[in-house]
Amino acid sequence: MHGRVILVGGGARSGKSRFALEYAQKLGERRLFVATAQAFDAEMRERIRRHRDERGSDFATIEEPLELARLLGQVHDVDVVVVDCLTLWLSNLLMREDSVEHIDNQVAAVVTALKARRQHVVLVSNEVGLGIVPESAMGRIFRDIAGRTHQRLAAEADEIYFAAMGLVVRLVPEPVKAFRPGQVPQRTPLDISTLDIATEPDQR
């Protein structure tokens, strides 16, 4: 039996990563966090350390900034994998001077790995296509690659969420539903399609 592919997008500080981690904790006891960030300076090293401390012992962590498809194909003996984030991974490939064609092929390889997995996979990504047209050619290439990547993964995802204005909105499956901070979908043993059970007693 295959797990579910869950795509969570949104802007910076939108709550998407928090939601992904809280949701993953409901999806299984054996949890893996795949970090795609690279620590190029002291600020990023401190950010990575802080996020690792916040996850604590709830997640095992693997840092993989480049070979995401390979890693996903090798992961076993976990219930859920959180990848945070796809856009940093794409940026890493672009900054390595990979060609657009090669990056598209890497995205296709990730899709192939997702189709073969058995565990749940939660993919976190930044929506970068809602602002003005980037001034630089590199920025426009990155925006286009990210947009195509989101389209390809959305075609495979069982659940899609978008974070905005402090809420996380479920787009797929229907019905569309907004989750406030601290709320996540939850399934019951009797019906794995149940997605609307509040996780806090005072949810409205």
Positions annotated as catalytic residues are 51
Q: Which of 166, 17, 36 is nearest to 8 (CA)?
A: 17
Cα separation of 193 and 200, whole Å?
Answer: 19
Cα separation of 71 and 51, whole Å?
Answer: 21
Cα separation of 36 and 152, whole Å?
Answer: 19
Phi, psi angles (nearest 5°) of residue 98: -65, 145
Is the Cβ–Cβ distance between 81 and 35 less than 8 Å? no
Q: Which of 159, 18, 147 is nearest to 86 (CA)?
A: 147
